Every structure is written in C-alpha cells, then in structure tokens.
Amino acid sequence: MVLKKPELEEHLLNNIFFDTCVYHQPGINLLLDVVPNKNILFASEMIGAVHDIDPRTGFYFDDTKRYIEAADISAEDKHQIYEGNARRVFPRLDARLKAKGL
C-alpha cells in the first residue's frame, strides 16, 4: 500500500533540528556528516556550566564554538549554523532582530 508520503528522511528533516551541544570534535564531525546543515542550530552551555576541562585539549568541554570553527565546512555553512537557521526556524525572533537593525 502506498501512503503518498515523502521519504522518511525528507519528511522528518522538515520538522526536526539538532543542536551543536556536543562536547568533542568527532561528535560534531559526525553530526555534520549525518545531518544536513540546514537542520543544525548552534547551541552551547553557558561558558563554565560544565566545569571540566578536556585533558587532551586543555579547553573546557562546553566551549562548543571551537568545534564548529574547526569543522571542514564553508563559511556560509557556519553562518547558517550560528545564525541563519535559527532565524529561519524562529521567524518572530528574526523579525525582532531585524527591527533592531540586527
């Protein structure tokens, strides 16, 4: 029986978003390999919320921006993850920011 629905991945990825609150580079790289960039929103804990420092790197685990910066993606993809996707997903937020000239 044909349900006339889009492919599962296409259907789900129009409604599901992932954040970057992943505390190591291999996890971010996997996220970026598996999930389309249009479905990824930047997220982090408040700096200092996770009090542990990664002994391999010397950085706090919750410094998630550095993982995106180190990822092998374009500047445009980084912009979309940091800001563009959130503005698209939250249009009222985008409107308020635009009203403030941001």
Can you read off the two tokens belonging to residue 93?
Answer: 């937020």
- The per-residue DSSP string of 26-57 comes to HHHHHHHHHS-GGGEE---PPTTSS--B-TTT
d(CA 42, CA 25): 14
* Catalytic residue chosen out of the listed positions 7, 45, 69, 83: 45
> Active site includes 76?
no
Asked if 90 contacts 96 with a C-beta cutoff of 8 angstroms, the reply is no
d(CA 45, CA 94): 22
Catalytic positions, please?
Answer: 45
